[in-house]
Amino acid sequence: MDAQTCLQIFREVKESAFATVDENGNPQNRIIDVMSVADGKLLFCTARGKNFYRELTANGNVSVTTMNRQFQMVRLQGTARRMEESRLWIDRIFEENPTMNDVYPGDSRYILEPFCIDSGEIELFDLGTTPIHRQSFVLGNGSVKKKGFFITDSCIECDKCARNCPTGCIEQSSPYVIGQFQCLHCGLCHEICPVRAIIRL
């Protein structure tokens, strides 16, 4: 699995939840079609009259989530930017997604503006495997923020966290180690450690 494969999941599912923040600081969420994932970019479009367009052009911060039939959930956090050569990209989008002609026939398509997300962080959360699999990937010039739970040198190796972890992803070691790819980020180990050796980032 890599960033491009995760982008492909967005394209396969197509309908994805796009979260933005409006001018009052309130969260907004909409189902938007992912039109293409060419060249390491996720492409979508929206009409200039929509609030979604206003929010995107105000700051561009967006979080996109989807899940396929195999229960593989992907989330992309990044910055959406409006594409230059708007008409060219809209034509290309309509070529790849011909049903768009039913919604925007003829030249009405040019009320749409193309956007892409080509930098950010992608997180895969695969609930279709046992145990679960979690992994993060960098998209373009983005970066991956380290997060989750980590065991420090304060660990006294009492084994309590390993015995109670729902995915069994804590390795008996000195100190104990959390297998990050299988961690749910549930926080149970953090709550029950008797010496508070587990930190959260």
Name the one residue in this structure whose structure tokens are 């739970």: 149
Work out which of 12, 22, 185, 199 binds ligand SF4, going by CB under 6 A: 185
If the CB atoms of residues 110 and 150 are measured against ligand SF4, the closer one turns out to be: 150
Q: Which residues between 138 and 177 bind ligand SF4 (CB under 6 A)?
A: 149, 151, 155-161, 165-167, 169-170, 176
Q: In this structure, what is the dihedral angle of CA atoms 123, 127, 128, 131, given to the nearest 10 degrees?
A: 110
Query: Under the criterion CB under 6 A, does residue 127 sit at the interface with ligand SF4?
Result: no
Question: Least separation, in Å, of the C-beta of 40 and ligand SF4?
Answer: 31
Nearest one of 152, 76, 150, 155 to 117, comparing CA atoms: 76
CB atoms inside a 10 Å sphere around CB 28? 13
Of 64, 73, 85, nearest to 139 by C-alpha is: 64
Q: Does 112 bind ligand SF4 (CB under 6 A)?
A: no
Q: How far apart are CA 59 and CA 178, in angstroms?
A: 36
- 199 scored as a contact of ligand SF4 (CB under 6 A): no
Binding site for ligand SF4 (CB under 6 A): 149, 151, 155-161, 165-167, 169-170, 176, 178, 183-189, 193, 195, 197-198
